[in-house]
Amino acid sequence: MQYIDFHTHTPPEDKKHVRAIVSCVAPEPLEKYENGNLFSYGIHPWYTKGHDIGKLLAHVRDMAHFNKVVAIGEAGLDKLKGPQMGEQKKIFCYHIEISEEVKKPLIIHSVKANNEVLRLRKKMSPLQPWIIHGFAGHPQEMQQFVDAGFYLSFGPKILYHNNRASESLAEVPDDRFFLETDHTNKTISGLYDRAADIRGISLKELEKTINKNFKTIFD
């Protein structure tokens, strides 16, 4: 099995079987996570306090050009935490610009802000793929994102029974989803097991589907 952990903050120990996108939060240096093979780089809405945002954004733009930085983010909007919404939107829009400029996908953190994120994609019609990480919305919301061209990455919430994330994962089209461990100590193999179960397919089939989606986004 070849697993893909689409979004994590810890480089995988088993690099032979796990390909991960390690989320590096500005201004962290990539070296801190040397063991990770691929990275995303961006300003997380939770960690802006005490930083000169102009400088931080310039730094993100520089880092975005590195080959091993394959995606921009996580960046986005969070109504429960972080600076006021106007400021968050400004920072997020800057990430959208960078993603388009360097032609790399955008990994999005969205908390209680799904409508705004949907609106922004419609308004800006970017060419790069946008991926909502840690998606836990209900199936109707999932469908709205799919219709708008998004990809959705599902996290450890799918491990618990009877929740919206699992319902959405059961219905999301084959060509639009990923799995991720994010901040947790859950294993990506455990998530694959559960996801295969939820979708009623074999692990091999799931592996093939996710590998294909990964290729679509990055090749």
Using CA atoms, how far apart are residues 26 and 20, in angstroms rounded to an integer?
Answer: 18
Cβ at position 23, least distance to Zn ion in Å: 5
Q: Which is nearer to Zn ion, 23 or 168 (CB)?
A: 23
Query: How many other C-beta atoms can be found within 10 angstroms of the C-beta atom of residue 61?
Result: 17
Stretch that binds Zn ion, among 16-24, 64-72, 146-154, 201-209 (CB under 5 A): 16-24
Q: Is 5 annotated as a binding residue?
A: no
Query: How many other C-beta atoms can be found within 10 angstroms of the C-beta atom of residue 166?
Result: 21
Q: Is 133 annotated as a binding residue?
A: yes
Binding letters toward Zn ion, positions 17-46, x by CB under 5 A: ------x-----------------------
Q: Is 161 annotated as a binding residue?
A: no
Q: Which of residues 176-215 bind Zn ion (CB under 5 A)?
A: 182
Q: Which is nearer to Zn ion, 23 or 99 (CB)?
A: 23
Q: Which of residues 141-160 bind Zn ion (CB under 5 A)?
A: none
Query: How many residues sit in the footprint of Zn ion (CB under 5 A)?
Result: 2
Q: Which is nearer to Zn ion, 10 or 143 (CB)?
A: 10
Q: Which is nearer to Zn ion, 23 or 88 (CB)?
A: 23
Cβ at position 145, least distance to Zn ion in Å: 18
Q: Which is nearer to Zn ion, 9 or 176 (CB)?
A: 9
Q: Is 171 annotated as a binding residue?
A: no
Using CA atoms, how far apart are residues 219 and 208, in angstroms rounded to an integer?
Answer: 16
- Please give the annotated binding residues for a divalent metal cation, written as ranges: 74, 109, 133, 182
- Please give the annotated binding residues, written as ranges: 74, 109, 133, 182
Query: In the complex, which residues of this chain contact Zn ion (CB under 5 A)?
Result: 23, 182
